[in-house]
Amino acid sequence: MKIGLLQLNSTVGDFTANRAKLLAAYAQAVTGGAEFVLAPELFLCGYPPRDLLQRDDFVEANLTALAETAGQIGAVPLCVGFVDRNSERPGRALRNSAAVLQHGKIIWRTTKSLLPTYDVFDEDRYFEPAKTVAPFEFEGHKLGITICEDIWNDEDFWPDRLYRRDPVSELIAQGAEMILNLSASPWCDGKERTRLEMLRRVARDEKIPLVQVNAIGANDELIFDGHSVALNAHGETLAMGGGFKEDILVVDLLETGNRKPETGKKFPPREELLFSALSLGIRDYVRKCGFKSVLLGLSGGIDSALIAVIAADALGAENVWGVAMPARYSSEGSLTDAAKLAKNLGIRYDVLPIESSFQSVEAQLQNVFAGTKPNEAEENIQSRLRGVTLMALSNKFGGLVLTTGNKSEMAVGYCTLYGDMNGALAPIADVLKTDVYKIARWVNREREIIPADSITKPPSAELRPGQKDQDSLPPYEILDAILDLYVVKNLGKAEIISSGFNAAVVNDVVNKINFSEYKRRQAPPGLKVSPRAFGMGRRIPIAQKFRTKNLTA
């Protein structure tokens, strides 16, 4: 049986465009010989719709889109994800469902059984789970149709299972000959490998062919990578969709005769995957929000340089504007490096000094600051004037401002509220500084795009004479390792210290992370690329007094 996989990018709430894209891809798959076609989870409304699901008109528009789509479907069935109403009470009002459309009608429906409510997921807030599952019978075959999480509970793969049920096993027990999975599986670093290995384990252990069609695109913080896959009953790859791009596959899942050899699908290098994810994240955020261009401060440093490169890749160089805003502590190298980068990329570049504005604010505050020692109050004026400048350009010319802070800085509060945190999107807010360097070197793998000095010089905010990041932070290799243990792996101080880190450094870093929660709550959305990002995936109260006392080795 030839299965068509429609790996497509949908926009939350854009029912007309989503439906048009779906129908065009369906027609292409049918022309390619597909006998049954799959589209991703909740494709018609976009994923995740969040509290739009609490609006009756949104749910109704989604049902109308489903009915109108069904009217355009012929003899080859299309299975697509949508939001269904739940008529059973007690229970939540909605269901995360999939419908099979054929001959102008909705001929069959099924509902997601396992509702993820962890990390970035909150489906139990909206949906009622299916209590039972059953295969869909089509032309003498029993198809086990599942939705995303339903396939993520294999007892042989996961040491700790979140659910008591395994819908895949339930379907196989009822005679399912293949497993078809509709997914909107968000990407994070390494997810493509984990997902593929998990699916291979299911196919191989259950001795059943399997396909998963996964969404691609970005909606707010979440990025979907695609990498849709078809596996035979030996867990071998028959076909795989591209990463971070739309794709249409047609694959014979019940092919007879000689078994196809393992394709040995190799994923690109980690740095390339991160770059592709961030580029897609910027592109979709900007365009789905109705904008065309972006602007950012170019400091000559590695963070702003990398974001400029990714933005130019995402939107085209003509839609990226770099602005240098020097003051008295700005080095000459910061300007030459920023100018060189802009020339290498072909983006617009302007120099708008803030020194005169800085002097005016200093004069304004002179009397009330009298008798105090200069500190971060004076330093941060510069950052905030840069934020004012960028926002003025944004208001006047319409581009979205990208902030340039990385995860290491955001973690410990090495950022300025209403200054360098001003903006609409924080593209690398979930990228550790050590990874920023790795991606930058990957960018320069064939020729110098990011100036070498931007990569090799000691990082500095240049807000006081001779300032260096390491004046107040441990080396980034140490800082990032502690951040991974504390933020991503959720370990405590004692466990981190016992793994070999200096107690004083761990105490200082963890205390800074805890103290800076109020800053991160006011930051723009950041693109999620790690297993645990600040923001929607890590929900820590601001007003709270739980603290672990400082420890010694």
Catalytic residues: 41, 112, 148
C-alpha closest to that of 247 among 10, 25, 15: 25
State how far the Cα of 62 lies from the Cα of 11, in Å rounded to an integer. 13
**Three-state SS string across 310-378, please?**
HHHHHHCHHHEEEEECCCCCCCHHHHHHHHHHHHHHCCEEEECCCHHHHHHHHHHHHHHHCCCCCCHHH
- Packing angle of the helix pair 476-483, 503-515 (nearest 10 deg): 70
Asked if residues 243 and 268 have their Cβ atoms less than 8 Å apart, the reply is yes
> Alpha carbon of 119 to those of 122, 156, 182, 219, 518: distances in Å?
8, 23, 20, 16, 20
Do the Cβ atoms of 79 and 67 come closer than 8 Å?
no
The two tokens of residue 402 are 């990208």
Residue 95: in which H helix or E strand, if any?
Answer: strand 94-102
For residue 551, count other CB atoms closer than 10 A to its CB.
16
Q: Which two tokens stand for residue 30?
A: 């049918």
3-state SS assignment for residue 433: helix
Find out whether the peptide bond into 48 is cis, omega within 30 degrees of 0.
yes
Residue 160 has a CB neighbour count (10 Å cut-off) of 4
Q: How far, CA to CA in Å, does 120 sit from each of 418, 436, 531?
A: 26, 24, 10
CB count in 10 Å sphere of residue 256: 6
Tokens describing residue 517: 């929660």
Residue 375 burial (C-beta neighbours within 10 Å; 0-12, 13-18, 19+): exposed
Rounded CA gap, 127 and 112, in Å?
9
